[in-house]
């Protein structure tokens, strides 16, 4: 799957907003595991329909990304904003 990594600067709750059209694709919000190599899917955020707005709790320094597999997705956009 495709995906760009980002590092979480503050621990806490973030709002994740995703828009676009998946058209048969699956999008997964992922966090890097303790081995420093393997990404795992964040619970409840493996998606086949959009848009979505969800709150996610993340530790400081967490490496996160979204991956898309299959289908023909278009116009995918996302924001990850720190709430508290």
Task: Please determine, for residue 41, whether its predicted confidence score (pLDDT) is greater than 60.
Answer: yes
By the 8 A CB rule, do 23 and 72 touch?
yes
Angstrom distances, CA of residue 62 to CA of 16, 35, 54, 68? 15, 12, 17, 20
Average pLDDT, the chain: 91
What was the pLDDT predicted at 1? 43
Distance (Å, whole) CA 21 – CA 10: 30
């Amino acid at each position: 799957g495709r995906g760009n990594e980002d590092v979480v600067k503050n621990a806490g709750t973030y709002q994740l907003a995703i828009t676009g059209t998946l058209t048969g694709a699956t999008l997964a919000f992922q966090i890097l595991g303790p081995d420093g190599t393997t990404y795992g899917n964040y619970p409840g955020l493996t998606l086949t329909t959009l848009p979505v707005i969800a709150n996610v709790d993340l530790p400081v320094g967490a490496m996160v990304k979204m991956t898309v597999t299959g289908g023909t997705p278009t116009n995918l956009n996302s924001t990850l904003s720190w709430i508290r």
